[in-house]
Amino acid sequence: MLQGWVVVLASFLYLGVLFGIAWYADRRADQGRSLIANPVVYALSLGVYCTTWTFYGSVGRAAANGIGFLPIYLGPTLLFALAGFILYRMIRVAKANRITSIADFVASRYGKSQLLGGLVTVIAVVGVIPYIALQLKAVSNSFTILSNYPEIVMPAAAGAVPLFQDSALYVAMILAAFTILFGTRHLDATERHEGMVAAIAVESIVKLVAFLAVGAFVVWGLHGGVADIFARAAEVPEVARRLTRADTSASYGSWGTLVFLSLFAALLLPRQFQIAVVENVDVKHLNRAVWMFPLYLFLINLFVLPVALAGLLHFPAGTVDADTFVLTLPMAHQQEGLALFVFIGGLSAATGMVIVETIALSTMVCNDLVMPLLLRLRWLGLAEKADLSGLLLEIRRWAIAIILGLGYLYFRVAGEAYALVSIGLISFAAVAQFAPVVIGGLFWKGGTRDGALAGLAAGFVLWAYTLLLPSFAKSGWLPEGFIAHGLFGIELLRPQHLFGLSGLDEITHCLVWSLLANLGAYIGVSLLRVPNAREARQASLFVGGTDLAGHTAWGGSAGVADLLPLAARFLGRERAEEAFLRHARSRGLKSVDELPGDARLANFAENLLAGAIGSASARAMVASVVSEEPLGLDEVMNILDEASQVRAYSRELEQKSQELTRATADLRQANERLRELDRMKDDFISTVTHELRTPLTSIRAFSEMLHEDPKTDLEQRTKFLGIIVSETVRLSRLINQILDMAKLESGRAEWTVSAIDVDEVIREAADSLTALYAEKRVALDLDGLHPGLTVMADRDRLMQVMVNLLSNALKFVPTDTGRVKVGAEGTASEVRVSVTDNGPGIHAADHEVIFDKFRQGSGGTDVLTDKPQGTGLGLPISRQIIEYFNGRLWVESAPGAGACFLFTLPRQASDNDAKQTQGGSQ
Amino acid sequence: MTHRVLIVDDEPNIVISLEYLLKKEGFAVHVATDGEAALAMAAELRPDLVLLDVMMPKKSGFEVCEALRANPDLPALKIIMLTAKGRDTEITKGLALGANAYVTKPFSTKDLVAQIKTLLA
pLDDT digits (tens, 9 = 90+) for A325-362: 888 888 888 888 888 888 888 888 888 888 888 888 98
Residues A772 and A891 grouped into a single domain: yes
Closest CA to A495 of A432, A420, A426, A424: A426
Residues A527 and A413 grouped into a single domain: no
Answer whether A57's CB lies under 8 Å from A428's CB.
Answer: no
Residues A512 and A408 grouped into a single domain: no
Of A52-61, A316-325, A747-756, which range is least confident? Answer: A316-325
Is B36's Cβ below 8 Å from some Cβ in A?
no
Is A380 contained in some domain?
yes
Of B21, B105, B110, which is closest to A694 when you measure between CB atoms?
Answer: B105
Is A315 contained in some domain?
yes
Is A864's Cβ below 8 Å from some Cβ in B?
yes
The DSSP line for A560-600 is HHHHHHHHHHHH-HHHHHHHHHHHHHHTT-SSGGG---SHH
Residues A405 and A445 grouped into a single domain: no
Question: So what's the pLDDT on residue A205?
Answer: 92
Question: So what's the pLDDT on residue B118?
Answer: 92
Query: What's the count of helices (H) and strands (E) in chain B, helices before strands?
Result: 5, 5
Residues A730 and A830 grouped into a single domain: no
**Cβ-defined contact of A723 to B13 (cutoff 8 Å):** yes
pLDDT band at A857 (very low <50, low <70, confident <90, very high): very low
Which of the two residues, A547 and A233, has the higher pLDDT score?
A: A233
Question: So what's the pLDDT on residue A555?
Answer: 53
Question: So what's the pLDDT on residue A421?
Answer: 61
Question: So what's the pLDDT on residue A158?
Answer: 55
Q: What is the pLDDT of residues A490-513, one digit of tens each?
A: 666 777 777 767 666 778 888 888
Of B17, B24, B87, which is closest to A686 when you measure between CB atoms?
Answer: B87
Boundaries of every domain in chain B? 4-120
Residues A528 and A565 grouped into a single domain: no
Residues A69 and A195 grouped into a single domain: yes
What residues of B are in contact with residue A704 (Cβ under 8 Å)? 108-110
- Dihedral sign for Cα A568, A573, A574, A577, please: positive
pLDDT band at A702 (very low <50, low <70, confident <90, very high): very high
Closest CA to B108 of A701, A23, A174: A701
For the entire predicted model, the pTM comes to: 0.56
Question: Among the three residues A507, A532, A549, which one is the final residue of a domain in this structure?
Answer: A549
Answer whether A820's CB lies under 8 Å from A809's CB.
Answer: yes
**Cβ-defined contact of B55 to A690 (cutoff 8 Å):** yes
Of A85-89, A264-268, A331-335, A915-919, which range is least confident? Answer: A915-919
Judge whether residue A633 has pLDDT over 60. Answer: no
**Cβ-defined contact of A697 to B58 (cutoff 8 Å):** no
Judge whether residue A640 has pLDDT over 60. Answer: no
Beta bridge partners of B81: B52, B102
Judge whether residue A793 has pLDDT over 70. Answer: yes
Question: Among the three residues A744, A778, A811, which one is the final residue of a domain in this structure?
Answer: A744
Of A92-106, A410-424, A610-624, A807-821, which range is least confident? Answer: A410-424
Pair type for strands A790-794 and A753-757? antiparallel
**Angle subtended by helix axes A506-528 and A434-443, to nearest 10:** 40
Question: So what's the pLDDT on residue A629?
Answer: 45
Q: What is the pLDDT of residues A258-271, one digit of tens each?
A: 888 888 888 888 88
- Dihedral sign for Cα A544, A548, A549, A554, please: negative
Judge whether residue A481 has pLDDT over 70. Answer: no
Segment A93-108 shows an average pLDDT of 84
The DSSP line for A829-874 is SEEEEEEEE-SS---GGGTTGGGSTT--S-TT-STT-SPPSS-S-H
Residues A248 and A352 grouped into a single domain: yes
Question: So what's the pLDDT on residue A862?
Answer: 34
Q: How many CB atoms lie within 10 A of CB A3?
A: 11
Judge whether residue A551 has pLDDT over 70. Answer: no
Residues A77 and A122 grouped into a single domain: yes
The per-residue pLDDT of chain A, averaged, comes to 80
How close B114 gets to chain A, by Cα (Å)? Answer: 14
How close B68 gets to chain A, by Cα (Å)? Answer: 21
Is A849's Cβ below 8 Å from some Cβ in B?
no
Question: So what's the pLDDT on residue A863?
Answer: 34
**Alpha-carbon distances, residue A549 vs A208, A252, A454, A587 (angstroms):** 39, 44, 27, 18
Question: So what's the pLDDT on residue A288?
Answer: 87
Question: So what's the pLDDT on residue A837?
Answer: 92
How many structural domains compose chain A? 5
Question: So what's the pLDDT on residue A368?
Answer: 84
- Those residues with Cβ within 8 angstroms of residue A288's Cβ, 6 or more apart along the chain or in another chain: A39, A40, A42, A43
Of A197-211, A384-398, A855-869, which range is least confident? Answer: A855-869
How close A770 gets to chain B, by Cα (Å)? Answer: 26
Residues A478 and A573 grouped into a single domain: no
The range of the structural domain enclosing residue A620 comes to: 558-627
Question: So what's the pLDDT on residue A921?
Answer: 38
Residues A301 and A387 grouped into a single domain: yes
Judge whether residue A912 has pLDDT over 70. Answer: no
Is A372 contained in some domain?
yes
B residues 57-96 lying closer than 8 A (beta carbon) to A: 57-58, 84-87
Question: Among the three residues A683, A710, A744, which one is the final residue of a domain in this structure?
Answer: A744
The Cα A332–Cα B1 span in angstroms is 156
Reading chain B (121 residues) residue by residue, the pLDDT tens digits are 789 999 999 888 999 999 999 999 999 999 998 888 999 999 998 999 999 998 887 788 889 999 998 888 888 899 999 888 767 777 788 888 888 998 888 899 999 999 999 998 8
Question: So what's the pLDDT on residue A687?
Answer: 78
How close B63 gets to chain A, by Cα (Å)? Answer: 14
Q: Which fold has domain B4-120?
A: Rossmann fold (3.40.50)
The Cα B26–Cα A223 span in angstroms is 151
The Cα B18–Cα B7 span in angstroms is 8
CA A175 from chain centre, in angstroms, equals 42
Query: Which of A685, A693, A854, A866 is best to mutate for the B interface (most B CBs within 10 A)?
Result: A693
Q: Is the peptide bond before A876 cis (omega within 30 degrees of 0)?
A: no
How close A804 gets to chain B, by Cα (Å)? Answer: 22
**Cβ-defined contact of A864 to B57 (cutoff 8 Å):** yes
ipTM exceeds 0.90: yes
Specify the DSSP element, H or E, that contains B78. strand B78-83
Question: So what's the pLDDT on residue A748?
Answer: 82
Residues A41 and A177 grouped into a single domain: yes
